[in-house]
Structure 1
Amino acid sequence: MTPVLADPRVAPVEDNLMEFLRVTASNPSFGTEGAADLHTWHTTVPHPVFNGIAGARFAPGEELRRTREVLAAYVGRGLPFLWWGSPSTMTAEIADTLVAAGMLRDETPGMHRVLDGPVPMPPPGPGVRIHVVGPECHAATARVMTEGFGFPAELAGPIVEMMAPFDAADLLTVLATVDGQPVACGTAWLTGRTAGLYNITTLEAARGRGIGYAVTATLLEMARDRGCTEAILHATEMGRPVYERLGFEEVCRMPMFVWVPQL
């Protein structure tokens, strides 16, 4: 066992994400390879988020063959796609095969925080309100996500569709508004005692006002109230300082590989 995998905080960072992606792959409107040794989903949407591979656990001696087999199917569709990795699902052989196939590698810090007490929550600024919302607000949340993450606006509809298979009882969603206008959002996906934080973003015009902090802190408090004892997330460089202020610590690196067709 590597030193990283020996850290008990790494397993929830991996497991929550892989369960999140397993549910994503279960969407009845998405296609799938139907394999038992990984999670796959594909659509006609030309964006890597909507075409993905995750949780590869290939049998010994099968890594090279299976990696090439899965790659061939996705490259053959001609649409951008992501291969999500984690410390226990990404081997050197898989990584080398992906890079050799023209995929670009990136990494995000996998972060962990124990939920052992109240989360510091400064008062929101003037005009700021934090709303706990349900599926009825998925469209508004998706519009904030597309603009906040710099996605094309036409992806808002597919994002709503992507959220369809998630049980509303285990998917906590927060929407922040300023003077009634949505400016930030975030979700927490609960798996047992673990809360995984995803989709946290703030519109550019509203950044630097502590709104992202307030969204994250609200999700943590909600998760703790639901009985969660730990929280995990996969941070962007922009969001990392906020998460560190909230007590998150990096416990591993989460690799991902993206393929984009050459025009």
Structure 2
Amino acid sequence: MDHAAVLALFDRDMREGARPDAPGARVERAGRVVRQVGADKGWNGVLWSDLDETSADAAVAEQVRFFSGLGGGFEWKLYGHDRPRDLGRRLRAAGFTAEPEETLMVAELSDLALDVEPPEGVRLLPVTDREGVALVAEVHEQAFGGDSTRLRHQLLAQLTGDTNTVVAVVALAGDVPVSAARMELPPGARFAGLWGGGTVEAWRGRGIYRALVAHRARVAAERGYRYVQVDASSLSRPILTRLGFQPLTTTTPYVYEG
């Protein structure tokens, strides 16, 4: 893989040329910044920026004013290759809080082995309705902690919209949900995004996460995507490396509470 070329393509497709992630959301360019204004209870944030030492502080202040005017907080999604190099420090000085760093990992679908199945006794159920969304949210709360209200709202809106841009799946041991994940399929992009892959603690280490990655990658290949990308935690990065994913850069959410 030509890492520099794929990273540049990712920036063009998924950041500067980003599409709204749910019905009712909008993506707009404001000077040297591309941001999303989410639908009700949706994600608000900065997706891409082209800044330097002379323009960064003013751009950050403008986004704070803009999103504060909407009455809520937002996220600045900072990548390791973004400029200026000290943009993270500038965001912290403006009142943002950094969440844990993850690794942007990408694989070309033609290079992946996709014949991975879940372990014995576990089956994969496609999520298509409110009941399935509830199962995904249940897994999310057990695997990651916290409240899943925003996830429930956004996933249900995506599944019931007319854009067909999300695939979700839950792994069941009998009738008990033990793992879940989703995939976003931006129209016209070359990257499918794998999100939310999580397994409840008692079922980790059995190959379920690998099976969910392979399942979604097969769907992405069938729909004509060339790459799949993941914001990988330290737990999932070794698994993804063994599957054939390669690290391109880091990504850190900087959150402004408002």
Alignment counterpart, residue 237 of structure 2, candidates 218, 235, 240: 240
Question: How far did residue 257 of structure 1 move?
Answer: 1.3
Partner Cα separation in structure 2 for residue 16 and residue 139 of structure 1: 31
What SS does structure 2 have at the residue aligned with 1:199?
strand
In the alignment, structure 2 segments of 5+ residues that lack a partner are none
Does 2:126 align with 1:132?
Answer: yes
Partner Cα separation in structure 2 for residue 23 and residue 180 of structure 1: 34
Partner Cα separation in structure 2 for residue 227 and residue 34 of structure 1: 28
What SS does structure 1 have at the residue aligned with 2:225?
coil
Does 2:104 align with 1:107?
Answer: no
Does 2:85 align with 1:95?
Answer: no
Bigger Cα displacement from structure 2, 15-24 vs 128-137: 15-24
Bigger Cα displacement from structure 2, 10-19 vs 199-208: 10-19
2:164 aligns to what? 169
- Which letter maps to 2:36? T
Q: How does 1:203-242 map to 2 (within 5 A)?
A: 203-242=200-239
Aligned length: 252
- Which letter maps to 1:40? Q
Partner Cα separation in structure 2 for residue 220 and residue 12 of structure 1: 19
Partner Cα separation in structure 1 for residue 134 and residue 118 of structure 2: 24
Aligned-residue sequence identity (percent) comes to 24
Question: How far did residue 93 of structure 1 move?
Answer: 5.5
Partner Cα separation in structure 2 for residue 16 and residue 133 of structure 1: 27
- Retained in 1: the 8 A contact 2:124–2:172? yes
Flag the 1:65–1:171 CA change in 2: closer, same or farther, 3 A: same
- Retained in 2: the 8 A contact 1:12–1:194? no
- What's the Cα RMSD here? 3.5
Flag the 1:169–1:130 CA change in 2: closer, same or farther, 3 A: same
1:41 aligns to what? 37
Does 2:110 align with 1:148?
Answer: no
Partner Cα separation in structure 2 for residue 260 and residue 115 of structure 1: 37
Flag the 1:16–1:187 CA change in 2: closer, same or farther, 3 A: farther
Question: How far did residue 156 of structure 1 move?
Answer: 5.0
Question: How far did residue 9 of structure 1 move?
Answer: 1.9
Instruction: State the TM-score, normalized to the length of structure 2.
Output: 0.78
- Retained in 1: the 8 A contact 2:168–2:180? yes
- Retained in 1: the 8 A contact 2:97–2:256? yes
- Which letter maps to 2:242? R
- Retained in 2: the 8 A contact 1:27–1:165? no
What SS does structure 1 have at the residue aligned with 2:210?
helix
Partner Cα separation in structure 1 for residue 156 and residue 18 of structure 2: 14
Alignment counterpart, residue 77 of structure 2, candidates 71, 84, 92: 84
Bigger Cα displacement from structure 2, 186-195 vs 247-256: 186-195
In the alignment, structure 1 segments of 5+ residues that lack a partner are none
1:56 aligns to what? 49
What SS does structure 2 have at the residue aligned with 1:38?
strand
What SS does structure 2 have at the residue aligned with 1:119?
coil
Flag the 1:153–1:142 CA change in 2: closer, same or farther, 3 A: closer
1:91-133 per-position Cα deviation (integer Å, ceiling 9, x unaligned): 3364332121232334321111121156254442232001233
